[in-house]
Amino acid sequence: MSTEFHLTAAAAADGPYVLDIDPERAGWGYSSLRVLDLPPGGRHSFATGDSEWIVLPLSGGCTVLTDDGEVFELTGRESVFSGVSDFAYVPRDAHVQVASGAGGRFALTGARCERRLPARYGAASDVPVELRGTGNCSRQVNNFGAAGTFECDRLIAVEVLTPGGNWSSYPPHKHDECRPGEESELEEIYYFEVEPAHGTEGVGYQRVTPSGRGRGTDVLAEVRSGDAVLIPDGWHGPSIAAPGHALYYLNVMAGPGETREWLICDHPDHGWIRSTWPEQPVDPRLPLYEAPAGDAR
């Protein structure tokens, strides 16, 4: 079973980033993810190059400035387990500065793209919060950068929160081939954080099995806060939250399809689990939180 697809927090750091995954490092064509830690008063500048990016606060708030003169004040949040965050979209072929008076951790979710769309602010109040699954398959999805929710050229990005003891990304599914109307071809990055409890940091687990396509991705990873798993192909799921520790993951996806869409195919051995969901209630711990009622800027 390959370990090349599981990047631990320490192994994936590069320069100013505590996590830095680009298409060259991943061995694919489109998806990128950087995680930036800024101290109080810290600032960081970067060129967007041939990719579009969403700046998403994981903890803390920041100011995002572009060389076109756009300024976005992001309120952010205390942590990924405390609330929905606002965010900023910045286009390809730009220079961007991220600055934080109080400091924080910020995800830069990116995708190589062709169109140069305008820089924009995404309000936390506009993020659809979805409850998916029931019983011990219950999870929460914050669809801040989902297809059909927020316009991008190729980038798709969402957050998933799984209460302790539950399975998400289940049933296992794939999106590694283009079948119009049925399945889209998307490279995917999972970035994890685990909610501490009782003085322990906690762990989660991620499974990916080969689908017979691409690189034969096969992963069984014990993940901790700051880790990432690359999914160029294969059936992915479950993502397992250990009892007592909620599991967060940020999904970053992009691919070559002409249409920006998330179409998946369930694993034929496990897709039946969906038929049991109407018989069970959603986990009463969900939602962990909801989007705020109005723009907090």
Whose CA is closest to 109, among 129, 90, 122, 126?
A: 90
Q: What is the per-residue burial (b if ≥16 Cβ within 10 Å, else e) of 11-42?
A: ebbeeebbbbbbbeebebebbbbbbbbbeeeb
Asked whether the predicted pLDDT for residue 266 surpasses 70, the reply is yes
In this structure, CATH architecture of domain 6-279: Sandwich (2.60)
The pLDDT tens digits for 139-152 are: 999 999 999 999 99
CB 130 within 8 A of CB 141: yes
Mean pLDDT over each residue of the chain, to the nearest integer: 96
Asked whether the predicted pLDDT for residue 258 surpasses 60, the reply is yes
Asked whether the predicted pLDDT for residue 76 surpasses 80, the reply is yes
Mean pLDDT of 9-31: 94
Return d(Cα 23, Cα 234) in angstroms, integer: 18
Asked whether the predicted pLDDT for residue 2 surpasses 60, the reply is no
Asked whether the predicted pLDDT for residue 25 surpasses 60, the reply is yes
CB 95 within 8 A of CB 67: yes
Mean pLDDT of 5-27: 93
The pLDDT tens digits for 26-69 are: 999 999 999 999 999 999 999 999 999 999 999 999 999 999 99
pLDDT at 297: 47
Asked whether the predicted pLDDT for residue 295 surpasses 60, the reply is no
Q: Band of the pLDDT at 202, cuts 50, 70, 90?
A: very high
pLDDT at 69: 95
Q: Band of the pLDDT at 294, cuts 50, 70, 90?
A: confident
pTM of the predicted model, to two decimals? 0.97
Asked whether the predicted pLDDT for residue 296 surpasses 50, the reply is no
pLDDT at 9: 84
Q: What is the DSSP letter of 25?
A: H
Mean pLDDT of 68-86: 97
